[in-house]
Chain A
Amino acid sequence: MSLRRMQSATSKPHGDGHAHDHHHGAPQPLSPQFEDIDQQNESYIVGMWTFLVTEIMFFGALFFTYSLYRTLYFDAWVDAHKFLDILWGTLNTFILLTSSLTMVLAVWAAQQGKKWLMISMLAVTILCSFGFLGIKYIEYSAKFEEKLFPGKNFDYVTANRMYKEHHGAGHVKGVAESPATADEAHGDESHTDDSHAGEAKAEESHSETASHGEAGHGDGEHGDGGHGNKLHGKTEIGMLMSKKTNFDNQPKEGFNGMMAEPTQAIALANTDREAQKEAARGRRAQLFFSVYFAMTGLHGVHVLVGILMMSVIIWMRVVDHIAVKDYMPTELVGLYWHFVDIVWIFLFPLMYLIS
């Protein structure tokens, strides 16, 4: 049995002879495994919806992960989201909503059999999607420059410093004023407030973070200065804490750059509470950005796939390929595209509008 064959006319008679309602201007070919065109249409749409259910569960796991960590680390979430620019986010949402409209107009045009209207609407949708991706690129590269990409690149202290430089010391909506928050107290070991003699070095260690990869948690603990004496590896514990000490003289790179040379014993002698909290906030911010990049990245991949599908349909329609004589492929891509839009509708407030 070949892949697609046109069947002899077994459709029901058209009845009264008048044209069917104006929504179904374009005729459709019937595949051999189906009995009539309505069965075929509904089958395709149910099939696509079944696929969208899988997509709901696909993103759902990430939404759950986000909700979980937001519940556990709410203050870090609030603090970290200030780096996300609401302007770009709103613009992206607007672009995506508009692309949804043009998509649905393209489907309408396909149903009417209006070839060039459909192609142009699809082209506008693609343009909107590229706009979306372009803005995402701007945002991502900004994050990378601000040292907010999880892994080797991440450096919360620097990021905060750059943020303060750009935005001044003014209030940011939703950011907790004082670093001493309840949940951070839980997470850190209780220490006295004396700065310990063994506390290691100052900000200069930042420049080495790229190779050492302990950026996320290492730097915060070493403070931003003003935290008392820092003996640079003079004591044994200082040596332990020093990034330069390497017990086997071999660089150890983990898979994500986090497990670099182990230089600290588990029981930290660091008693500086402020530094601890900075460190914790840094780590949790890295977690926030992991979730952020995972979710928006996955969404971006879906946008890309959508662009690909729309381009294929445009090309096929231009060359009058037989498969797109039917409006159904366009409608199915439309369903997919609206789903992608819905994911962003939820992503936008969750990521950008945390308060």
Chain B
Amino acid sequence: MSVTTFKSPGLEVEKGPQSTGADEKEPVNYLNVSNTIASWLLTGDHKRIAFMYLIGISIVFFLGGIAAGMVRLELTSPKGQWLSSEAYNKMFSAHGIIMVFLFLVPGIPAIIGNFLIPLMVGARDLAFPRLNLLSFYLWLAGGLMVLTALLFGGVDTGWTFYTPYSSIYANGNVTLCLFGIFTLGFSSIATAINFIVTVHKMRAPGLTWFRLPLFVWAMYATSALAILGTPVVAITLLLVAVERTIGLGIFSPELGGDPVLFQHLFWFYSHPAVYIMILPALGIINEIIAASCRKRIFGYEFVAFSSIAIATFGFIVWGHHMFATSQSMYSSMVFSVISFLVAIPSAVKVFNWTATIYKGSVDFNTPMLYALSFIGLFTIGGLTGLYLSSLATDIHLTATYFVVAHFHYVMVGGAVTAFLGALHFWWPKMTGKMYPEFWGKISALVVFIGFNVTFFPQFIVGYVGMPRRYHFYAPEYQIWHILSTAGATILGVGMAIPVCYLTYSLFKGRKAPQNPWGAIGLEWTHAASPPDPHNFLETPVVTWEAYEYTKEDHGHGHDGHDAPVTLPKPEKEEVKV
């Protein structure tokens, strides 16, 4: 059964007072169906909500980037030049809090996940559209609370809010910030509930679990992590806020409480949180590689189960953030061993991608460039994590810039790179416009170079002893910091370029075909670019496996499933600079 290319229904928009100026032939899509403010602010359409998230999250990313810029600027000289030490502490705390809680944790799920999951499972919308809208407003409210706390007075506890500093001694707007993060947690939970129920209950007929795109598997695992972990940090931060205001001293050493208990509870969520940040990125890479290599992902089931394995194992390794605390040696050893084990599913993914690319017909478009740089940078980040899992080396490396470099490699080199790749890959679907390919490739290159110049020196300076979160440091480290800041400038430029051309393409970009990559996936083969408000006019019935590219496309035979899907020719057009 061949895939029928979705044809727009021919429901044409009359030019009238309500139209957005769409041409007479332009079909109705979710962007132009109505353009009142209320229709956007009170929408239940997952695609519109994703769009609103995109705008909000881009703004906070920019703010977090400014904080990072200030930190890097300050670190160019050993004694600092522009900021007081207290201000410096507030700056790196702001950078961490904004990037973690406002950008990375919501980011890919709220934008890419919200937009794509109903399309990928063949549903008309998520299970609970109003809950989705609530999730957006909770994010907005929490974000505003956090930003207010950070901008008017600041928080200098670091994004980890360790007690008893945060609960008793810190001055600043800690309480407001904590309530903001608490609200953000609920936003995260609401989104996760939606995703879980949608994937369980609203798959199209014929779409079994093992025919799902791997991005959906990854998002499902992410949502499970959010459900099981977020409430723990919510209550923990709430207890800190309560200790600051009312005086219930649960972590207070004066009463016999244990500050390390805070760390246990905090990291019980925050370690799964880092997997919340990276799993969607891993899912995205699957999609980009499959489409750009025109080949089914090697070892589909292994990759699917590896997402679940990462989620499960991710819950039992939290103690590796606490090796240098009073945590007992025996439990540290257990955490160390399990942390080594959790690297295995990630490695499975990387190996499978490599095997997929091998003998695929690779198209080096912008998303593929981002995906390739992801594989390299994520591998480096992951391997350096092993140095930190091993108890002996961790004693030397913990709380140094080695750790900072490690997590920036996985977070920026990993999650942000994948996010940019996803944005480019699905931009035609989301907006109906193509971005300029030349500038896309340039920005991918600049980001890659800038990123490595920024963070690789941090491995070195951390290894030779520079502690993290320090304002003043020994002069011999200065050369590495200057190198790092120079890279940060390049990285900033690399991030700014897409903002320019993506915004430009919204208004002046070339109109995108339905399936510019010639990819297999319900969002490409059955939904228009941009999609109809209800995604599909007819519920698709799926009879083919995931990524079932034809013999001609990838040069390998099938193993006897349904007849191979005939793929519409990829509608590539000439690159215009």
Contacts and interface: CB of A to CB of B under 8 A. Distances in A.
Say if the two chains contact directly (CB < 8 Å): yes
Interface of A: 1-4, 32-35, 39, 42-43, 46-47, 50-51, 53-62, 64-65, 68-69, 72-73, 150-152, 187, 216-217, 254-259, 280, 283-284, 286-287, 290-291, 293-294, 298
Given A47-B197, A255-B245, A33 B127 contact: yes
B38 to A, nearest CB: 10
Contact of A290 (B124, B130, B200, B249): B249
B256 A53 contact: no
Interface string B176-192: 00000000000001001
Contacts of B193: 47, 50-51
B469 interface: no
Contacts of B244: 255-256
A293 B168 contact: no
Contact of B230 (A54, A187, A280): A54
A259 B128 contact: no
A93 to B, nearest CB: 23
Contact of A33 (B30, B125, B250): B125
A43 B121 CA distance: 15
A36 to B, nearest CB: 11
A287 to B, nearest CB: 4
Contacts of B249: 150-151, 256, 258, 286-287, 290
26 contacts: A1-B30, A1-B129, A3-B42, A32-B534, A39-B201, A43-B201, A46-B201, A47-B193, A51-B193, A57-B228, A58-B231, A58-B235, A60-B231, A65-B265, A151-B246, A151-B248, A151-B249, A216-B254, A216-B255, A254-B168, A255-B247, A287-B252, A287-B255, A294-B248, A294-B250, A298-B235
A3 to B, nearest CB: 5
Contacts of A291: 250
Contact of B533 (A1, A152, A294): A1
A53 B228 contact: yes
B98 interface: no
A341 B491 CA distance: 53
A47 B189 contact: no
Contact of A47 (B43, B127, B229): B127
Contact of A217 (B128, B167, B254, B268): B254
Contacts of A73: 256
B545 interface: no
B422 to A, nearest CB: 24
Nearest to B190: A51
Candidate in B33, B197, B255, B258 with the most chain A CB atoms within 10 angstroms: B255
B189 A54 contact: yes
A32 B124 contact: yes
B394 interface: no
A76 B470 CA distance: 41
Contacts of A150: 246-249, 255
Contacts of B265: 61, 64-65
Interface string B417-444: 0000000000000000000000000000
Interface of B: 30, 33, 42-45, 123-131, 167-169, 189, 192-194, 196-197, 200-202, 227-232, 234-236, 239, 242-250, 252, 254-258, 261, 265, 268, 533-534, 539
B235 A46 contact: no
Nearest to B230: A54
A56 B242 CA distance: 20
Contact of B231 (A46, A57, A255, A257): A57
A62 B235 CA distance: 8
A57 B315 CA distance: 13
Candidate in A42, A65, A72 with the most chain B CB atoms within 10 angstroms: A65
B168 A65 contact: no
Candidate in A3, A257, A284 with the most chain B CB atoms within 10 angstroms: A3
Nearest to B126: A33
Contacts of B236: 61
Contacts of A187: 256
Contacts of A46: 196-197, 200-201
A58 B232 contact: yes
B257 A287 contact: yes
B255 A151 contact: no
Contact of A42 (B30, B45, B201, B533): B201
A335 to B, nearest CB: 13
A65 B250 contact: yes
B255 A61 contact: no
A53 B44 CA distance: 25
Name A's interface SS.
Answer: helix
Given A58-B231, A61-B232, 6 more contacts: A34-B202, A58-B235, A150-B248, A255-B168, A255-B247, A290-B255
B32 to A, nearest CB: 13
B197 A50 contact: yes
A50 B191 CA distance: 11
Contacts of A216: 254-255
B242 A294 contact: yes
Contacts of B235: 58-59, 61-62, 298
Contacts of A59: 235
Nearest to B204: A35
B127 A283 contact: no
A201 to B, nearest CB: 21
Nearest to B236: A61
9 tightest A-B CB contacts, nearest first: A151-B247, A256-B247, A58-B231, A290-B248, A57-B231, A33-B125, A287-B255, A54-B231, A1-B45
Contacts of B200: 46
A35 B230 CA distance: 31
Nearest to B127: A43
A112 to B, nearest CB: 26
A39 B227 CA distance: 22
A53 B257 CA distance: 27
Contacts of B169: 254, 259
Contacts of A290: 248-250, 252, 255, 257
Contacts of A64: 265
Contacts of A287: 249-250, 252, 255-257
B243 A256 contact: yes
A300 B240 CA distance: 19
A345 B127 CA distance: 32
Contacts of A42: 201
Contacts of B234: 58
A99 to B, nearest CB: 24
Contacts of A217: 254-255
B325 to A, nearest CB: 15
Contacts of A294: 239, 242, 248, 250
A259 B168 contact: yes
Contacts of B255: 150, 216-217, 283-284, 286-287, 290
B197 A283 contact: no
Nearest to A284: B256
Contacts of A65: 250, 261, 265
Contacts of B202: 33-34, 39, 43
B248 A47 contact: no
A93 B196 CA distance: 34
Contacts of B539: 35
B44 A255 contact: no
Nearest to B205: A35
B219 to A, nearest CB: 14
Contacts of A151: 246-249
A39 B197 CA distance: 10
Contacts of B126: 33
A277 B73 CA distance: 53
Contacts of A34: 127, 202
A286 B249 CA distance: 8
Contacts of B42: 3
Given A43-B127, A43-B201, A57 B229 contact: yes
A290 B248 CA distance: 5
B410 to A, nearest CB: 25
Contacts of A54: 189, 227-228, 230-231
Nearest to B198: A43
